[in-house]
Amino acid sequence: MATYKTLYKCRECGATSYQSVIERDSSGALKPNGQYRCTGCRNIFATIRAWWEPRRAPDFQTSTLSG
């Protein structure tokens, strides 16, 4: 059986799948609302890229004060 490693996984929990978030529209019909829910941690993300893309480390500036 072949195994593979994917880059596309949840940045929070490492799950490799997500689902569209379904909501009722104004007429009562169930439709995707454009957001995505991780199947592992159940966090909701605005885009698929936000689901898998690692968070950027904050940019820190060192202090130039001398004592």
Q: What's the pLDDT band for 62 if we cut at 50, 70, 90?
A: low
- Cα-based torsion angle of the residue sequence 26, 27, 30, 36 in order, rounded to the nearest 10 degrees: -20
pLDDT for 32-54, tens place per residue?
Answer: 999 999 999 999 999 999 999 98
pTM of the model: 0.72
pLDDT at 65: 65
Q: Please spell the DSSP secondary structure of 1-67, one letter per residue.
A: ------S-S-TTT--S-EEEEEEE-TTS-EEEEEEEEETTT--EESSHHHHHSPPPPPP--------
Q: CA–CA separation, 64 vs 14, rounded Å?
A: 39
Rounded mean pLDDT of 17-45?
A: 96
**Domain-located, residue 57:** no
**Domain-located, residue 63:** no
- Residues of the domain holding 23: 18-52
**Domain-located, residue 6:** no
Rounded mean pLDDT of 4-19?
A: 90
pLDDT at 37: 97
